[in-house]
Structure 1
Amino acid sequence: MYDVAIVGAGPVGLFLACELGLQGVSVVVIEREAEPGSVWRTAPLGMRGLTASSLAGFYRRGLLADLLEVDDGSLVDDQPGEVRGFGHFAGIMIDPDAVDGATLPYRLPTPAPEVLMTGLAHVEEVLTERAVKYGVEIRRGAAVTDLTQYDEHVVVRAGDDEYAARWVVGTDGGRSAVRRLAGFEFVGTDPLFTGYTMQIEVDDEAKLQPGFTVTPRGMYVSLRMAGHIGVLDFDGGAFDRTQEPTVEHLQEVLRRVSGTDVTITEFGRASTYTDRAMQVTNYRNGRVLLAGDAAHIHSPLGGQGLNTGLGDAMNLGWKLAATIQGNAPDGLLDTYQSERHPIGEWVLDWTRAQVTVLKPGPHGRALQGVMRDLLGTPDGAAYVYGKISGMQNRYDLGSEHPLVGRVAPEFRLEDGTRLADLMADGRGVLLDFTGELEGFTGAPYAAGRARDDLGLAAVLVRPDGVVAWAGDADRNAFEQAANRWFA
């Protein structure tokens, strides 16, 4: 019997497998696709943006160099105060020059970039290699067809095989079989548009503006990358997966939404999606948990989907491992629901807001004007950028300190040791900048002055990189916080 069976070998399932494998938990990953690296997961159709919070997680597990395809020694380029990423809200681009990274709260120099465009297949390749190193088994080529829960374990059937595990996690996407078979309640709002992702060539590329273009009938995106074009058509989601998108249909939609007479001259492939926004009411049902798109679906506007799923995996991994190994404080696994469900709700509302701004008609047009004005200001650009980076999201951990509940800044001790160096083994850490908290054994300990301590005496960082406590060297306050997270 395995400790955990993960259904779905996308980035979320594989990152979770790495987190569990790092802790010595026995894991099997079950994937319906026989082979990795389909055309939908490689460039250009499989390109996705990883944001700062996700990249911080890769960095602190020693995965960033492989993700960037560089040597470990090259991860020394700190650029404080410089926003090296980009983003948009409802197709309205954020100007990096308008965001002063030095003014973003609790940010420190880090080798991790603010954003990285990469292919899903590459992310999966990096994570697969690490998962296998940790002893994770990956079984491909059979879809899950049945799931039965017992008091102490769960049995999953995929093809002719059955897998018994103490816990099952569904990371099998928006049409999750695990979600359906385990009886999760999935609620939300109906779509307003059908979105199209096309790999095509057109007669005159200059007819389509590069980047995001909002029109009176929706929006189109021309990336000038191997004919990768996207279109949002506000038809109430009527076309999504109801029929195969023909060249004739795609051309009609592209012409109507773009307001041009562009002609498709070469067709590769196309897929559709909607802005349907739904979430399970609880991320756990007995011994079955959900993460990623299996737990929440929404439009891709703003690029939050993959990053939200990776956040789920980072949050769940150490908690589930501690529960399995019997060293979890009471109620630790319950905090997966209390912390991640509100984040999922926020992401759904964040994408709904963008859909509303893009909605054709005078109301949407008025909102577009307001948002363009706001994003043209330093404060407005910084607010939106901070949100989509993931670094400004905050769990409610019962503390008034504004750093508690956020992704930890990349503290660096005077001897050159980084927070990431201390977290590569998957444990949390107490950074004691004054040396006054030595002797508490509930969390790994590191003492020394920091190059920039942000005015703090000590910081307790959970295994997922989230600050659990920060402040003065108050032993009683620290021990109360540490006992909550470390048995």
Structure 2
Amino acid sequence: MDTTAGTGPDTEVEVVVAGGGPVGLMLACELALPKVGVVVLERLTEVDATIKAGAINTPTAESLYRRGLLPALEEVQREALERFASFLRQREAAGADGVAQPPRFAGHFAGIMLRGDLLDADDPDFHAAGPADDVGLVPQAALERLLADHAAELGVTVRRGVELTGFDAAADQVTVRTADGVLRAGWLVGCDGGRSTVRRLAGFPFPGTPPEITGHQALVEMTGGEGLKAGWNGTDTGIYAHGPLPGRILTVEFDGPPADRGAPVTAEELQASLRHTSGVDVTVTKVLTATRFTDNARQVPDYRRGRVLLAGDAAHVHAPFGGQGLNLGIGDAVNLGWKLAATVQGWAPEDLLDTYSAERHPLGAWVLEWTRAQVALMRPESHARALRGVLTELAGTVDATAFFAKRISGVLHRLDLPGDHPLTGRSAPDLLFSDGTRLGDRLRSGGGLLLDLADDSALRGRASGYADRVRVLTARTTGPAPAGLLVRPDGCTAWAVDAAPGDGAPASLDGLDDALRRWFGDPCDGPA
């Protein structure tokens, strides 16, 4: 990875990505797979080690698994689990009450814990992602380092210590200005966070609701921490959380947004907030990493304006509970990457790039509503506390645990795509093939894939004009599977068909030609 500070005078590149956090790096990697020239501009000189999201959801894990990053994710999770075990040992040594291994964690809603032991172990919704189903405890800083390494392997140019200061967007080009030079690009994508410079300069509207909380999250050294309850806890003065890492604290106070969100977070500030929300006389002796947050909830109406696009927090902001922002941003990057690459390379169908906003905006709007609901349940007033009690009781049931866990994990995400098959618009199931490989292993190149599971020449023939965009794989699976599957580069099922009764051949190829044209353009040698 090129980490030099300069951009060089009048550098030309196909795409400039402003922001080198997880979203910007993921997008750059997705563009690099099909060999699109991309430069990432990042104002920080090092990977941001500030404590932020602590976990990834299933769609994020699937996307990274499909790019060959599962072993690295598993190692990060192993280290995180070791830190959790250390947290339990430290509490036990300090004489804290009720120290025990908690039930398997399935997420939380407004700090209401979901017990994984209440989930149906045979529920197919939790098993379609294959090995990615078992990965989740991946902190944001570790993910950013992992993606930085992945970007380096793909030859992505990352200019650290370089910040976008302005740009001019024309009909055919974007001229990007930095303190170290000018870049002329075909496209500019703002992945530069909730206070995005790209969003502001491009004039994107950013409607939504104002903040009403001040939140803190930190890793600290402290005395008196044995008096804190582990996990999330609602009190008469707010919310606080302790763990699952040694020294990790989180507080939520409902006295309005912080006066200066960008000021350094001090030990005194964290101590006062923790004492206020917990009622425990702790003393914070050292701050290792800390951040403030609010529940400001806003979203741009459209993620594209001409040759300027937004992804991640630049397009939508909300309270960070459950790490939804990180996962939403990674999903943006994976959805946008192949569509922007197709546009740059000239084979994109008409309006393909516009499907990025059309597909991702509804999910972003849902996350904003999901986080608003959590803030409402956290309020330390009598009506909210009463409702929280009802939801806590409900969350202890099997059905409610499944409801919340499926939405938090993202396993129910589905795009509104043409077609009646149950898999259409869903993430492609990680089918196990008879040779021991899995579908996820076959998606590392980032291209389209037509899967022929019935050894049907007519099915394969439909893709004859798409050899440069869609690979065809004939294979057998070890379990039940459709007869055919068209998978987009982002892992979404674009078309599927079951076998006809009796002979195992596809029941019908209706809709396949339309799906190929819709997502991969016209065939090279005549009609498909």
The answer to whether TM tops 0.5 is yes
SS of the equivalent of 1:30 reads: strand
Go from structure 1 to structure 2 and tell me whether the alpha carbon gap of 1:407 and 1:31 turns closer, same or farther (over 3 Å shift). same
Equivalents in 2 of 1:384, 1:401: separation in Å? 25
Partner residue in 1 for 2:20: 9
| Residue identity matched to 1:468 | A
SS of the equivalent of 1:172 reads: coil
Structure 1, 148-157 or 198-207: larger mean CA deviation: 198-207
Q: Pick one of 307, 313, 318 that aligns with 2:338.
A: 318
Identical-pair percentage? 47
Q: How is 1:43-442 mapped onto 2 (pairs within 5 angstroms)? A: 45-46=51-52, 48-69=54-75, 86-105=106-125, 107-108=127-128, 110-223=130-243, 225-239=245-259, 241=261, 245-268=265-288, 270-436=290-456, 437-441=459-463, 442=466
Structure 1, 281-290 or 430-439: larger mean CA deviation: 430-439
- Asked whether 1:463 is paired with 2:473, we answer no
1:210-232 per-residue CA deviation (whole Å, 9 max, x = no partner) reads 11111122110111634221100
Equivalents in 1 of 2:197, 2:404: separation in Å? 34
Equivalents in 2 of 1:49, 1:270: separation in Å? 17
- CA RMSD in angstroms comes to 2.1
Equivalents in 1 of 2:442, 2:269: separation in Å? 54
Partner residue in 1 for 2:477: 450
Equivalents in 1 of 2:278, 2:444: separation in Å? 48
Instruction: State whether residues 26 and 135 of structure 1, in contact with CA within 8 Å, keep that contact through their aligned partners in structure 2.
Output: no
Instruction: State whether residues 283 and 295 of structure 1, in contact with CA within 8 Å, keep that contact through their aligned partners in structure 2.
Output: yes
Instruction: State whether residues 202 and 266 of structure 1, in contact with CA within 8 Å, keep that contact through their aligned partners in structure 2.
Output: yes
Instruction: State whether residues 497 and 509 of structure 2, in contact with CA within 8 Å, keep that contact through their aligned partners in structure 1.
Output: no
Structure 1, 383-392 or 5-14: larger mean CA deviation: 383-392
The Cα of 1:475 is off from its aligned counterpart by 1.6
| Residue identity matched to 1:453 | P
- Asked whether 1:33 is paired with 2:44, we answer yes
Instruction: State whether residues 21 and 136 of structure 1, in contact with CA within 8 Å, keep that contact through their aligned partners in structure 2.
Output: yes
SS of the equivalent of 2:189 reads: strand
Equivalents in 1 of 2:207, 2:336: separation in Å? 22
- Asked whether 1:479 is paired with 2:513, we answer yes
Partner residue in 2 for 1:78: none
Equivalents in 2 of 1:448, 1:103: separation in Å? 26
Go from structure 1 to structure 2 and tell me whether the alpha carbon gap of 1:163 and 1:292 turns closer, same or farther (over 3 Å shift). same
Go from structure 1 to structure 2 and tell me whether the alpha carbon gap of 1:444 and 1:145 turns closer, same or farther (over 3 Å shift). same
1:247-288 per-residue CA deviation (whole Å, 9 max, x = no partner) reads 444333222211223333444453311011111111001100
Q: Pick one of 26, 29, 32 that aligns with 1:18.
A: 29
SS of the equivalent of 1:260 reads: coil
Please give the TM-score of this superposition, normalised by the length of structure 1. Answer: 0.91
Structure 1, 399-408 or 375-384: larger mean CA deviation: 399-408
Please give the TM-score of this superposition, normalised by the length of structure 2. Answer: 0.84
1:101-134 per-residue CA deviation (whole Å, 9 max, x = no partner) reads 4214383362224443234343223222332333
Go from structure 1 to structure 2 and tell me whether the alpha carbon gap of 1:236 and 1:114 turns closer, same or farther (over 3 Å shift). farther
List gaps (5 residues or longer) in structure 1: 71-82
1:303-352 per-residue CA deviation (whole Å, 9 max, x = no partner) reads 21111000000000000001111111111111001000001001111111
Instruction: State whether residues 196 and 271 of structure 1, in contact with CA within 8 Å, keep that contact through their aligned partners in structure 2.
Output: yes
List gaps (5 residues or longer) in structure 2: 1-11, 77-102, 499-505, 522-528
Instruction: State whether residues 104 and 386 of structure 1, in contact with CA within 8 Å, keep that contact through their aligned partners in structure 2.
Output: no
Equivalents in 2 of 1:395, 1:10: separation in Å? 26
SS of the equivalent of 1:434 reads: coil
Equivalents in 2 of 1:468, 1:141: separation in Å? 40
Go from structure 1 to structure 2 and tell me whether the alpha carbon gap of 1:109 and 1:388 turns closer, same or farther (over 3 Å shift). closer
SS of the equivalent of 1:476 reads: coil
Equivalents in 2 of 1:292, 1:449: separation in Å? 38
Go from structure 1 to structure 2 and tell me whether the alpha carbon gap of 1:37 and 1:105 turns closer, same or farther (over 3 Å shift). closer
Equivalents in 1 of 2:183, 2:117: separation in Å? 52
| Residue identity matched to 1:466 | C
The Cα of 1:471 is off from its aligned counterpart by 2.3
Instruction: State whether residues 105 and 113 of structure 2, in contact with CA within 8 Å, keep that contact through their aligned partners in structure 1.
Output: no
Instruction: State whether residues 293 and 305 of structure 1, in contact with CA within 8 Å, keep that contact through their aligned partners in structure 2.
Output: yes
Structure number with larger C-alpha Rg:
2
| Residue identity matched to 1:124 | E
Go from structure 1 to structure 2 and tell me whether the alpha carbon gap of 1:49 and 1:224 turns closer, same or farther (over 3 Å shift). closer
SS of the equivalent of 1:132 reads: helix
Equivalents in 2 of 1:127, 1:273: separation in Å? 24
SS of the equivalent of 1:102 reads: coil
SS of the equivalent of 1:357 reads: helix
Count of paired positions: 469
The Cα of 1:238 is off from its aligned counterpart by 4.1
